[in-house]
């Protein structure tokens, strides 16, 4: 399931003691699914930083709270929107936050809209951020 990262907070709950020596800094990550349900997980802060996971990102976590690959070959989806709420860009990233090629042969897709909000242009990009030709399957 793909989740949206709603909030990332440092885990400060150690009871009356400090964080034990050698224990990694943890974060409390609040995720929402497509139904709007929230879940909270603990994740190593270093992993969130290494994978460049930020609030608003779309991610997938495995049962061990680790970033995992989706069946489509990506771990993270980045979306951009214009002031009217139209999605102008969708980019796919791997677990190391590098552009990730989907099975159809692109890593990023951009959209342009007319005044009525209809898509008038779609451009597909490879991992090198240059336009590419895709392999569509119907």
- CA atoms of 47 and 42, how far apart (whole Å): 11
Residue 130 and residue 99 in contact, taking contact as beta carbons nearer than 8 Å: no
Whether residue 37 is predicted with pLDDT greater than 70 in this model: the reply is yes
Q: What is the pLDDT of residue 132?
A: 92
Strand partners, 8: 29
Return the closest-CA partner of residue 55 out of 82, 72, 78: 78
Is 110 or 69 the better-scoring residue by pLDDT? 110
Return the closest-CA partner of residue 136 out of 127, 120, 124: 124
What band does 86 get if pLDDT is binned at 50, 70 and 90?
A: very high
- Look at the pTM and tell me if it is higher than 0.85: no
Mean confidence (pLDDT) of the chain:
84
């Amino acid at each position: 399931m793909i989740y949206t990262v709603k909030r990332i907070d440092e885990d400060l709950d150690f009871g009356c003691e400090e964080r034990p020596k050698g224990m990694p800094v943890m974060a409390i990550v609040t995720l929402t699914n497509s139904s709007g349900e929230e879940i909270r997980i603990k994740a190593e802060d270093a992993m969130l930083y290494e994978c460049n996971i930020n609030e608003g990102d779309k991610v997938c976590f495995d049962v061990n709270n680790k970033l995992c690959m989706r069946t489509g070959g990506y771990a993270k989806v980045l979306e951009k929107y214009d002031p009217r709420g139209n999605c102008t860009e969708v980019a796919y990233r791997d677990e190391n936050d590098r552009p990730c090629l989907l099975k159809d042969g692109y890593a990023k897709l951009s959209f342009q809209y007319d005044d009525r909000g209809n898509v008038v242009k779609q451009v597909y990009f490879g991992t090198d951020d240059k336009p590419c030709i895709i392999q569509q399957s119907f």
